[in-house]
Structure formats: structure tokens, C-alpha cells
Amino acid sequence: MKIKVLVPLRDEAGNPLVEEKEVSINFFKYLQIRLGLGTFWKYGRLSPLWHNDLELWIIYCKRHGFVVTYRAGYDGRLECLFCLREAEALYRKS
């Protein structure tokens, strides 16, 4: 099964970019993602400014669909990076 995944990237200056990739996953991983658990995708970097590769995960966001993210914070939560960017932009405007 192939799904389209949004990958939030950053360029060398730190500006946000978006790339859409087609990823093939099996039905069990698709079900895991849709149930809100997320699934491991690969090790990689979302920005050239990162020093080490991180675990990249695929999650499902109700607003943005399938999204690549990484575990954040001490509890390792998985959040949609596009929703975080939008919230940050709204906070800056106020």
C-alpha cells in the first residue's frame, strides 16, 4: 500500500519547506498510524542544521493527513510539525 506523506524540512537558513513523498507501507503499519500510534519510518534529518540523524515517524493528522515527525520532549510525544508551525505563526501575530 502506498501513501503520500508530507515531510516538513528546513533549508540552511532555517526557513520551512514542504516535500511530499510516496511511501509504501503494509496494512498493519497503516492501521497503526490511523489508530494514532504512529510507526517508525527511517533514520534521517529534517534540517541540514541537525548534527545527528533522528528516528523519523509517520503519524496521521486530521488537518494535514500523513505527516513525518520525530519524538519530541522528555516523554517522546509525536506531534504534527505543521500544526506546531501554524500555532507558532498565530502566536507571533498576536
- Partners of 42 in the β-ladder: 56
In order of 8, 27, 58, 68, 91, the CA distances from 46 in angstroms are 7, 26, 13, 9, 23
Mean pLDDT, residues 66-94 taken together: 88
DSSP state of 62: T
Question: How many domains is the chain built from?
Answer: 1
Is the per-residue pLDDT at 87 higher than 70? Answer: yes
Residues of the domain holding 23: 2-93
> What are the two backbone dihedrals, phi and then psi, of residue 55, each rounded to the nearest 5 degrees?
-70, 125
10-54 pLDDT, tens digit each: 888 888 889 999 999 999 999 999 999 999 999 999 988 889 999
DSSP classification of residue 47: S
Instruction: Tell which wins on pLDDT, 75 or 93.
Output: 75
Contacts of 74 (CB under 8 A, 6+ apart): none
**Which pLDDT score is estimated for 5?**
96
The pLDDT assigned to 94 comes to: 64
Q: What is the mean pLDDT of residues 52-66?
A: 95
